[in-house]
């Protein structure tokens, strides 16, 4: 069985620098998209919330309309009963029966008044909710228009950069394979620590290309020799010499 030769430190440094260069190009594409993906997601969430609220208002209005219908039917029933009781009053034989029927008429009259009050309250609630419903609908339509615009912008940028991004991503994946897992994990962790995603930086003007801290001459010489992985003592980025591209 042939032993696989382990990459030298210099080869690892070059692979890391190449990976950083590729990932920077991918980052530029993501920067070009800007906040659009987040804005699209936020708008979709907001629209979903507005649609839920709109449906709830519609359901509440339907419930109130149903209550009004029930109350109107109750009033009709009370009117029929009152008419029947009054008719019976004309044929009663004694005052006790007359008084009993009078009480029934009074009870149904109170029921009608209560139903009329509940109808007015329900109608007032419907008017208020209908106004809110219209406002919600207008806002929903505005947000949908905004989403359409944002989606078109994102789609245009994605279409323009999709081919390049896929190509770069393949190169990035290939470059990662040339780096051992431990180093690849460290690289990813350092990238996550900085907004610009720079984990591997060159020594420029005797300073770290990431945080601009001065690098001692002895350390610079070690970096140029490429015999070991050296990180900036201040920011923790991996340091490479300015001739790494050659």
- Assign residue 32 a region: left if phi > 0, alpha if psi is -120 to 50, beta otherwise? alpha
**Mind giving me the DSSP string for 190-226?**
HHHHSTT---EEEEETTEETTT--B--HHHHHHHHHT
Give helix 9-33 / helix 181-193 axis angle, nearest 10°. 40
Cα(242)–Cα(224) distance, integer angstroms: 8
**Mind giving me the DSSP string for 96-111?**
HHHHHHHHHHHHHHHH
Whole-number pLDDT of residue 5: 56
* Phi and psi, residue 214, nearest 5°: -65, 135
Whole-number pLDDT of residue 17: 93
Overall pTM > 0.85: no
Residue 54, Cα to own-chain centre: how many angstroms? Answer: 19
Cα(60)–Cα(1) distance, integer angstroms: 76
The answer to whether residue 120 scores a pLDDT higher than 80 is yes
Neighbours of 179 (CB within 10 A): 20
The answer to whether residue 107 scores a pLDDT higher than 90 is yes
Sheet containing strand 200-204, edge to edge, reads 207-208, 200-204, 238-240, 230-231
Q: Tell me the average pLDDT across 81-104.
A: 91
* Predicted confidence band of residue 63 (pLDDT cuts 50, 70, 90): very high
The answer to whether residue 153 scores a pLDDT higher than 90 is no
Cα(207)–Cα(20) distance, integer angstroms: 19
163 and 102 Cβ atoms separated by less than 8 Å = no
């Amino acid at each position: 069985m042939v032993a696989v030769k382990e990459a030298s430190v210099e080869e690892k440094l070059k692979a890391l620098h190449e990976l950083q260069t590729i990932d920077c190009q991918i980052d530029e594409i993501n920067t070009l998209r800007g906040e659009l993906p987040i804005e699209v997601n936020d708008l979709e969430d907001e629209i979903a919330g507005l649609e839920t609220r709109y449906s709830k208002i519609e359901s509440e209005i339907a419930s109130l309309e149903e209550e009004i219908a029930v109350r109107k039917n109750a009033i009709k029933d009370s009117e029929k009963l009152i008419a029947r009781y009054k008719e019976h009053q004309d044929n009663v034989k004694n005052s006790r029966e007359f008084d009993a029927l009078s009480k029934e008429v009074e009870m149904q009259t109170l029921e009608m008044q209560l139903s009329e009050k509940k109808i007015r309250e329900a109608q007032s609630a419907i008017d208020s909710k209908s106004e809110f419903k219209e406002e919600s609908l207008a806002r929903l339509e505005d947000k949908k228009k905004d989403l359409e615009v944002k989606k078109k912008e994102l789609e245009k940028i994605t279409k323009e950069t999709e081919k390049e991004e896929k190509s770069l991503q393949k190169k990035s994946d290939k470059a990662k394979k040339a780096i051992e897992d431990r180093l690849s994990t460290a690289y990813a962790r350092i990238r996550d620590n900085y907004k610009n995603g720079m984990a591997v930086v060159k020594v420029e003007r005797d300073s770290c290309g990431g945080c601009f801290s001065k690098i001692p001459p002895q350390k610079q010489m070690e970096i140029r020799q490429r015999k070991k992985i050296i990180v900036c003592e201040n920011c923790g980025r991996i340091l490479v010499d300015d001739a790494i591209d050659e």
